[in-house]
């Protein structure tokens, strides 16, 4: 396994539970799990992520993207149950609430709720939004068109997930190799008919199957082998805000509140994550965080007045000219599971499940 983000580490854990002998390779494996130097350098997708799970509110009701989301939402409670441990607690926080930004979006949300009541979706009016809140509570942004409540969507803390996976990987005897793979060499008699992986440490290692989960670095590894999978970086910035309010004022706050595509997530006492921006390229814009904070003019006074405690940015890997994610068996013993764009945490269980199917089959299984 190459790459130890949510997808790579989760897949390594899943394969080990299936009985495979797994080595996980990533230069970050000997680094602490924290957002260090977050102002100065881009974080990888998982470290920068807010861990939002939007599986049941997905607009489409068919196709690969929908099936992957539904498989992940089916598997996430099982993953949480198995990974949760007193030393590395993990939980699924719910619900998720989306606020409609227009009458048309409100109609779409009402239609979606009628189609999927069994998935825990319920629409509400703008009057209901106001009735949910009292004068001593922090008011939501209110576009005035109601919204959609998803009881089973929400979020997984990405760092809690990584801590839980690290502990479980060790328990499953997965070998953790803190290094960067520089070159892949196809199997031949000279390397025992196994893949040879050259490392930046000057050493190399061998394996029968290579699974690539390296986001933006995937294209560089695959290009010398004749596989072209270009990806583009989409940058996202997040603000960590401190709000002046009592604990009771947060009683009505969901796990995730979404307004105009921006997530508002309460954490700790009187703290709120706000994010993330969508920016092309790898350099953060100085103006985007303040634009995001205004929520297209819907930001309440408390949000505009909140103090900035921290901010960070990360890079998402979006496949060029192909739908995300890239799940393909490229040749015998070479599997690509990368390019999840904004949904690495959400789709980690479904991706691991798909890779596991490939490992148990001698024929190519379509990603579904």
Q: Are residues 301 and 236 in the same domain?
A: yes
Q: Are residues 17 and 120 in the same domain?
A: no
Q: Are residues 315 and 326 in the same domain?
A: no
pLDDT confidence bin for 362, thresholds 50/70/90 = very low
Note the pLDDT of residue 333. Answer: 95
At residue 301, φ and ψ (nearest 5 deg) are -60, -40
Task: Tell me whether residue 43 is in a domain.
Answer: no
- pLDDT tens track for 77-107: 999 999 999 999 999 999 999 999 999 999 9
Note the pLDDT of residue 368. Answer: 40
Bridge partner residues of 274 (DSSP): 239, 264
More confident residue, 155 or 190: 155
At residue 157, φ and ψ (nearest 5 deg) are -65, 115
Q: Are residues 170 and 75 in the same domain?
A: yes
Please give the average per-residue pLDDT across 134-147, as a whole number. 80
Report the alpha-carbon distance of residue 311 to residue 284 in Å, rounded.
11
Q: Which of 319, 335, 350 is the last residue of a domain?
A: 319
Task: Tell me whether residue 47 is in a domain.
Answer: no
Which residues constitute the domain of residue 337?
A: 6-38+52-88+157-230+320-360
Task: Tell me whether residue 365 is in a domain.
Answer: no
Note the pLDDT of residue 241. Answer: 96
Instruction: Read off the pTM.
Output: 0.94
Q: Are residues 311 and 236 in the same domain?
A: yes
Residue 45 has pLDDT above 80, yes or no: no
Q: Are residues 171 and 315 in the same domain?
A: no
Which residues, including other chains, have CB under 8 Å from residue 49's CB and lie 6 or more apart? Answer: 6, 158, 314, 344, 345
At residue 28, φ and ψ (nearest 5 deg) are -85, -5
Task: Tell me whether residue 173 is in a domain.
Answer: yes
More confident residue, 75 or 245: 75
Q: Are residues 175 and 70 in the same domain?
A: yes
Note the pLDDT of residue 37. Answer: 45
Q: Are residues 334 and 347 in the same domain?
A: yes
More confident residue, 367 or 357: 357
Task: Tell me whether residue 368 is in a domain.
Answer: no
DSSP structural state of residue 331: E
Q: Are residues 34 and 11 in the same domain?
A: yes
Report the alpha-carbon distance of residue 75 to residue 72 in Å, rounded.
5
Q: How many domains does the chain have?
A: 2
Report the alpha-carbon distance of residue 350 to residue 291 in Å, rounded.
34
Beta strand pairing status for 154-155 and 52-53?
antiparallel
| Strand, coil or helix: 278 | coil
pLDDT > 70 fraction of the chain, expressed in percent and rounded = 92
Please give the average per-residue pLDDT across 282-304, as a whole number. 93
- pLDDT tens track for 187-221: 988 888 899 999 999 999 999 999 999 999 999 99
């Amino acid at each position: 396994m190459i790459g130890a983000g949510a997808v790579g580490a989760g897949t390594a854990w899943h394969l080990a539970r299936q009985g495979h002998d797994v080595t996980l390779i990533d230069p970050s494996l000997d680094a602490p799990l924290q957002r260090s130097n977050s102002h100065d350098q881009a974080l990888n997708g998982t470290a920068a992520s807010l861990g939002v799970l939007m599986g049941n509110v997905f607009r489409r009701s068919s196709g690969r993207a929908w099936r992957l989301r539904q498989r992940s939402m089916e598997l996430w409670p099982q993953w949480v149950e198995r990974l949760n441990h007193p030393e590395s607690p993990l939980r699924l926080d719910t619900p998720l609430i989306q606020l409609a930004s227009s009458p048309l979006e409100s109609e779409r949300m009402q239609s979606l709720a009628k189609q999927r009541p069994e998935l825990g979706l319920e629409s509400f009016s703008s009057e209901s939004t106001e009735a949910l809140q009292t004068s001593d509570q922090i008011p939501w942004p209110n576009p005035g068109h109601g919204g959609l409540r998803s009881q089973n969507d929400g979020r997984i803390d990405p760092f809690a997930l990584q801590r839980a996976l690290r502990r479980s990987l060790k328990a499953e005897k997965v070998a953790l190799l803190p290094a960067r793979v520089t070159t892949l060499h196809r199997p031949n008699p000279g390397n025992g008919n196994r893949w040879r992986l050259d490392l930046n440490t000057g050493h190399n290692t061998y394996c029968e199957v290579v699974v690539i989960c390296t986001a933006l670095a995937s294209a560089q590894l695959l290009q010398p082998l004749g596989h072209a999978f270009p990806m583009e970086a989409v940058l996202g910035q997040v603000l960590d805000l401190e709000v002046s309010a009592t604990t009771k004022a947060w009683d009505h706050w969901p796990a995730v509140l979404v307004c105009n595509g921006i997530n508002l997530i309460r954490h700790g006492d009187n703290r709120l994550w706000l994010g993330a921006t969508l920016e092309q390229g790898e350099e953060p814009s100085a103006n985007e965080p303040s634009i995001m904070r205004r929520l297209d003019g819907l930001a309440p006074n408390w949000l505009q007045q909140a103090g900035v405690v921290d901010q960070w940015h990360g890079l998402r890997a979006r496949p060029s000219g192909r739908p995300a994610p890239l799940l393909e068996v490229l040749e015998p013993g070479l599997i690509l599971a990368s390019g999840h764009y904004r949904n690495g945490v959400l789709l980690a269980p479904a991706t691991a499940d798909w890779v596991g199917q490939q490992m148990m089959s001698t024929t190519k299984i379509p990603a579904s």
